[in-house]
Amino acid sequence: MKYKDLGSTQSIFSRNEGSRIAYYRINSPAGCDFWDDHWHDNTSKTPEENYQPYMRGYLGRGQLRRVMLKYLPPDGLILDGGCGIGKYVMALRSRGYNCIGIDFAEKTIARIKDSFPDLPIEVGDVCHLNFKEETIDAYISLGVVEHFKEGPQTALKEAARVLKKDGLLLVSVPQAFRWRRESSYPEDTPLPEKASFYQYAFTSEEFREMLRGTGFRVEAEYGYDAHYALTFRFKLLRELLRRFPRMAHVDILLDQTPVGLRLARMRLFVAKRKVM
């Protein structure tokens, strides 16, 4: 059986499951071991070299940067839930924001803390946050809650619990659009051997309802990494992007268009905790 999607990653199998697309890893470690390996493999430079841009406040050039700077409160406590290597924590703090982070990848957190002991990132679980109710002003969750096989509701409810009344949530998840569906197997396709769940891609309608059902009202929606969709449709563009990765910078313009929103790899929701 061949594996599809996620570009050059050949160990990923995807199939349609209801309104979602589900992705499975083949022959891959589970849980935090996978993420520790992932962050280690994607950090080829030394920590000091890798973090130089973030120490200067680098938040990227595109949509994420615009949205963060537009919505995040300049005062108040910001939590990056599922912070990975802590790059946004460092970048935001370099800009004067009071941002802290948690992630369950223990080895990754320990490695980063060895190099940056004062960086406020700790081991934690986004489904069981070690914070009291209504203590966080803003919560960042970028590409995290889609990784729960049972769905994102527990993590979203926990985010609502710790946010202050009218607190801000920036949450992004993979988006299920037509070209992405067409590149995945039908729902009745059997899973390969040694397949373990990796993530879902959601329709915007389904995830919007999940937010409403877990205590949020949606204020705005954005897309980012829209070039990803074009790689499904145009083989030549896929090859050009492989050879010239900087072509992906077209997202700086494309993500801001209605087409970019509909075809973006990631859908970013700006939401506020409902005042009950």
Pairing verdict, β 20-26 and 195-201:
antiparallel
Residue whose C-alpha is closest to residue 156's, from 221, 222, 81, 231:
81
Position 254 scores a pLDDT of: 84
- What CATH code would you report for 12-273? 3.40.50.150
- Fill in the amino acid letter for 68: M
Q: What does residue 93 show for φ and ψ, rounded to 5 degrees?
A: -65, -35
N residues, the chain: 276
Position 103 scores a pLDDT of: 95
DSSP letter, residue 125: B
CA 138, 143, 146, 149 dihedral sign is negative
Q: Would you list the domain boundaries of the chain?
A: 12-273
- What six digits make up the tokens of 114? 């060895």
Position 2 scores a pLDDT of: 44
In whole angstroms, how far apart are CA 81 and each of 122, 187, 239? Answer: 10, 31, 35
In whole angstroms, how far apart are CA 47 and each of 42, 80, 116, 195, 223? Answer: 11, 19, 9, 32, 30
d(CA 22, CA 35): 18
Is the Cβ–Cβ distance between 14 and 174 less than 8 Å?
A: no
Q: What does residue 62 show for φ and ψ, rounded to 5 degrees?
A: -115, -140
pTM comes to 0.89
Residue whose C-alpha is closest to residue 109's, from 127, 143, 85:
85
Q: What is the pLDDT along the chain (276 residues), one digit of tens a residue?
A: 445 443 334 488 999 999 999 999 887 766 656 655 665 655 555 666 788 899 999 998 889 999 999 999 999 999 999 999 999 999 999 999 999 999 998 988 998 998 899 999 999 999 999 999 999 999 999 999 999 999 999 999 999 999 999 999 999 999 999 889 999 999 999 999 888 999 999 999 999 999 999 999 999 999 998 888 877 776 776 776 677 777 677 788 888 999 889 989 999 999 999 876
Position 117 scores a pLDDT of: 93
Is the Cβ–Cβ distance between 95 and 117 less than 8 Å?
A: no
